[in-house]
Structure 1
Amino acid sequence: MSNEGNALVVVANRLPVDFTVDDAGEISWKRSPGGLVSALEPVMQQADGAWVGWNGSPDLYADPFEADGMTLVPVTLNADEIEQYYEGFSNDTLWPLYHDVIAPPAFHRQWWDAYRRVNRRFAEAAAVQVATGGTVWVHDYQLQLVPSMLRELRPDVRIGFFDHIPFPPYEIFAQLPWRRQVIEGLLGADLIGFQRNGDAANFLRTVRRLTRHSTRGQVIAFEDKTGRAVREVRASAFPISIDSQGFDALARREDVVARAEQIREELGKPDIIMLGVDRLDYTKGIRHRIKAYGELLHDGRLGVEETTLVQVASPSRENVGAYQELRDQVETAVGRINGDYGELGHAAIHYLHHSYPPEEMAALYRASDVVLVTSLRDGMNLVAKEYIAARSDDRGALVLSEFTGAADELNGALLVNPHDIDELKDVIERAARLTPEEQRKRMRRLRRKVMTDDVAKWSRTFLETLEAMPVVPVAPELADGDATEGPSLELVRALDDLAATDGLVLVASDFDGVLAPLVDDPASSRTSPRAARALGRIARRPESQARLALVSGRDLATLAELSRAPLGTLLIGSHGAERGVVTAVGFDRRDVTVTEGQASLLAHITDGLEEIAGRHTGVWVERKPTASVLHTRKSTHDGAAQATEAARALAERLGVGTLEGKDVVEIQVVDTSKGKALDALRTELGAVGVLYLGDDVTDEHAFAVLGSSDVSVKVGGGETIAEYRVPGTTSAALLLEHLGRALEHRSKQRSGGA
Structure 2
Amino acid sequence: MPSSSPVQHSSAEHEMVVVANRLPVDSRTLPDGATEWVTSPGGLVTAMESVMRTVDSGAWVGWAGAPGEAPAPFEADGMSLYPVRLEQEDVERYYEGYSNATLWPLYHDVIVDPEFHRGWWDSYLAANRRFAEAAAPVAAPGGTIWVHDYQLQLVPRMIRDKRSDVRIGFFNHIPFPSVELFSQLPKRNSILRGLLGADLLGFQRESDTLNFVAAVRKLLGYHVDGTTISVPGIGAAPVREVQARTFPISIDSATVSELTEDSAIRARAEELRRDLGDPERIVLGVDRLDYTKGIRHRLKAWGELLDDGSIDPHDTVMIQVATPSRERVEAYRQLRDEVELTVGRINGEHAPLGRPAVSYQHHSFDRREMTALFMAADVVLVTALRDGMNLVAKEYVASRPDLQGVLVLSEFAGAADELRAAVLVNPHDIDELKAAILRALAMPAEEQEEAMRSLRHQVMENDVQAWAHDFLQQLEAMHTPAGDTAPAVLLTGDANSAPEEVEVALRDFTAMPRLLIASDFDGVLAPIVDDRDAVVPDGEALAALRELSDLPGVAVALVSGRSLADLDRHTTMPSSVVLVGSHGAEVGALPPWMQAEVLDKSALAMTPQKEEQLAEITRTLRRIARAHPGTEVETKPTAAVLHTRSAKGRGGLNATEAALEYAMTLPEVTVTPGKEVVEFAVVHTSKGAAIEALSRASAADAWLYLGDDVTDESVFAELGEHDLGLKVGGGDTAARLRIADTDAVREVLQRLLHLRADER
Task: Work out whether the TM-score is over 0.5.
Answer: yes
Q: Which position in structure 1 is the counterpart of 2:18?
A: 10
Aligned AA for 1:440?
E
Task: Find the aligned partners of 1:4 and 1:113 in 2 and give their Cα distance.
Answer: 29
Q: Percent identity?
A: 58
> Does structure 2 conserve the Cα–Cα contact (< 8 Å) formed by 1:156 and 1:473?
no
Task: Find the aligned partners of 1:327 and 1:37 in 2 and give their Cα distance.
Answer: 25
Per the TM alignment, residue 340 of structure 1 is displaced from its structure 2 partner at its CA by 1.0
1:375-524 mapped onto 2 (5 Å cutoff)? 375-473=384-482
Aligned AA for 1:357?
D
Q: Which position in structure 1 is the counterpart of 2:581?
A: none
Deviation string 1:65-108 (CA, Å, 9 cap, x unpaired) is 11111110000111011110011111101000000000011111
Task: Find the aligned partners of 1:33 and 1:103 in 2 and give their Cα distance.
Answer: 25
Look up the SS of the partner of 1:18 in the other structure.
strand
Deviation string 1:493-548 (CA, Å, 9 cap, x unpaired) is xxxxxxxxxxxxxxxxxxxxxxxxxxxxxxxxxxxxxxxxxxxxxxxxxxxxxxxx
> Does structure 2 conserve the Cα–Cα contact (< 8 Å) formed by 1:416 and 1:427?
yes
Aligned AA for 1:452?
E
Unmatched 5+ stretches in structure 1: 477-488, 490-754
Task: Find the aligned partners of 2:419 and 2:397 in 1 and give their Cα distance.
Answer: 10
- 2:58 pairs with 49, 52, 69, which one? 49
Deviation string 1:306-337 (CA, Å, 9 cap, x unpaired) is 11100000100010110110011111111111
Deviation string 1:150-202 (CA, Å, 9 cap, x unpaired) is 11011111000000000000110111111010000000000000000000000
Per the TM alignment, residue 223 of structure 1 is displaced from its structure 2 partner at its CA by 4.3
Residue 193 in 1 paired to residue 208 in 2? no
> Does structure 1 conserve the Cα–Cα contact (< 8 Å) formed by 2:23 and 2:64?
yes
Residue 27 in 1 paired to residue 35 in 2? yes
Q: Give the direction of change, closer, same or farther, for the CA distance of 1:427–1:168 in structure 2 (3 Å limit).
A: same
Task: Find the aligned partners of 2:409 and 2:196 in 1 and give their Cα distance.
Answer: 33
Task: Find the aligned partners of 1:225 and 1:55 in 2 and give their Cα distance.
Answer: 35
Task: Find the aligned partners of 1:287 and 1:162 in 2 and give their Cα distance.
Answer: 29
Residue 140 in 1 paired to residue 152 in 2? no
Q: Which position in structure 1 is the counterpart of 2:81?
A: 72
Q: Which position in structure 2 is the counterpart of 1:243?
A: 252
- 2:328 pairs with 319, 322, 338, which one? 319
Aligned AA for 2:324?
P
Look up the SS of the partner of 1:77 in the other structure.
coil
- 1:178 pairs with 174, 187, 200, which one? 187
Per the TM alignment, residue 269 of structure 1 is displaced from its structure 2 partner at its CA by 1.0
Task: Find the aligned partners of 2:158 and 2:58 in 1 and give their Cα distance.
Answer: 21
Task: Find the aligned partners of 2:73 and 2:233 in 1 and give their Cα distance.
Answer: 40
> Does structure 2 conserve the Cα–Cα contact (< 8 Å) formed by 1:231 and 1:474?
no
Per the TM alignment, residue 298 of structure 1 is displaced from its structure 2 partner at its CA by 1.1
- 1:347 pairs with 353, 356, 368, which one? 356
Per the TM alignment, residue 29 of structure 1 is displaced from its structure 2 partner at its CA by 1.6
Per the TM alignment, residue 136 of structure 1 is displaced from its structure 2 partner at its CA by 0.2
Task: Find the aligned partners of 2:58 and 2:296 in 1 and give their Cα distance.
Answer: 42
Per the TM alignment, residue 230 of structure 1 is displaced from its structure 2 partner at its CA by 3.0
Look up the SS of the partner of 2:66 in the other structure.
strand
Look up the SS of the partner of 2:381 in the other structure.
strand
Residue 283 in 1 paired to residue 292 in 2? yes
Per the TM alignment, residue 39 of structure 1 is displaced from its structure 2 partner at its CA by 4.6
Q: Which position in structure 2 is the counterpart of 1:334?
A: 343
Per the TM alignment, residue 212 of structure 1 is displaced from its structure 2 partner at its CA by 2.5
Aligned AA for 1:372?
L
Look up the SS of the partner of 1:166 in the other structure.
coil
> Does structure 1 conserve the Cα–Cα contact (< 8 Å) formed by 2:106 and 2:181?
yes
Q: Which position in structure 1 is the counterpart of 2:242?
A: 233
Aligned AA for 1:261?
E
Q: Give the direction of change, closer, same or farther, for the CA distance of 1:17–1:83 in structure 2 (3 Å limit).
A: same
Look up the SS of the partner of 2:212 in the other structure.
helix
> Does structure 1 conserve the Cα–Cα contact (< 8 Å) formed by 2:238 and 2:482?
no
Task: Find the aligned partners of 2:379 and 2:418 in 1 and give their Cα distance.
Answer: 19
Deviation string 1:581-615 (CA, Å, 9 cap, x unpaired) is xxxxxxxxxxxxxxxxxxxxxxxxxxxxxxxxxxx
Give the structure-2-normalised TM-score. Answer: 0.61
Task: Find the aligned partners of 2:151 and 2:351 in 1 and give their Cα distance.
Answer: 42
Task: Find the aligned partners of 2:363 and 2:302 in 1 and give their Cα distance.
Answer: 21
Q: Which position in structure 2 is the counterpart of 1:481?
A: none
Aligned AA for 2:28?
T
- 2:368 pairs with 337, 359, 366, which one? 359
Q: Which position in structure 1 is the counterpart of 2:176?
A: 167
Aligned AA for 1:396?
G
Task: Please report the RMSD computed on the Cα atoms of aligned residues, expressed in angstroms.
Answer: 1.9
Task: Find the aligned partners of 2:11 and 2:234 in 1 and give their Cα distance.
Answer: 39
Aligned AA for 1:373?
V
Q: Which position in structure 1 is the counterpart of 2:744?
A: none
Give the structure-1-normalised TM-score. Answer: 0.61
Task: Find the aligned partners of 2:455 and 2:154 in 1 and give their Cα distance.
Answer: 37
> Does structure 2 conserve the Cα–Cα contact (< 8 Å) formed by 1:98 and 1:165?
yes
Q: Give the direction of change, closer, same or farther, for the CA distance of 1:39–1:404 in structure 2 (3 Å limit).
A: closer
Task: Find the aligned partners of 1:417 and 1:22 in 2 and give their Cα distance.
Answer: 47
Residue 213 in 1 paired to residue 222 in 2? yes
> Does structure 2 conserve the Cα–Cα contact (< 8 Å) formed by 1:193 and 1:238?
yes
Task: Find the aligned partners of 1:408 and 1:431 in 2 and give their Cα distance.
Answer: 20
Q: Which position in structure 2 is the counterpart of 1:546?
A: none
Task: Find the aligned partners of 1:43 and 1:414 in 2 and give their Cα distance.
Answer: 31
Aligned AA for 2:440?
A
Aligned AA for 1:240?
I
Aligned AA for 1:236?
R
Q: Which position in structure 1 is the counterpart of 2:106?
A: 97
Q: Give the direction of change, closer, same or farther, for the CA distance of 1:228–1:56 in structure 2 (3 Å limit).
A: closer
> Does structure 1 conserve the Cα–Cα contact (< 8 Å) formed by 2:259 and 2:265?
yes
Task: Find the aligned partners of 1:424 and 1:312 in 2 and give their Cα distance.
Answer: 19
Q: Give the direction of change, closer, same or farther, for the CA distance of 1:227–1:221 in structure 2 (3 Å limit).
A: farther
Per the TM alignment, residue 30 of structure 1 is displaced from its structure 2 partner at its CA by 2.0
Task: Find the aligned partners of 1:383 and 1:288 in 2 and give their Cα distance.
Answer: 18
Aligned AA for 2:154?
L
- 1:151 pairs with 160, 165, 183, which one? 160
The alignment covers a number of residue pairs equal to 477
> Does structure 1 conserve the Cα–Cα contact (< 8 Å) formed by 2:50 and 2:465?
no
> Does structure 1 conserve the Cα–Cα contact (< 8 Å) formed by 2:387 and 2:412?
yes
Task: Find the aligned partners of 2:12 and 2:363 in 1 and give their Cα distance.
Answer: 44
Look up the SS of the partner of 2:239 in the other structure.
strand
Task: Find the aligned partners of 2:278 and 2:30 in 1 and give their Cα distance.
Answer: 43
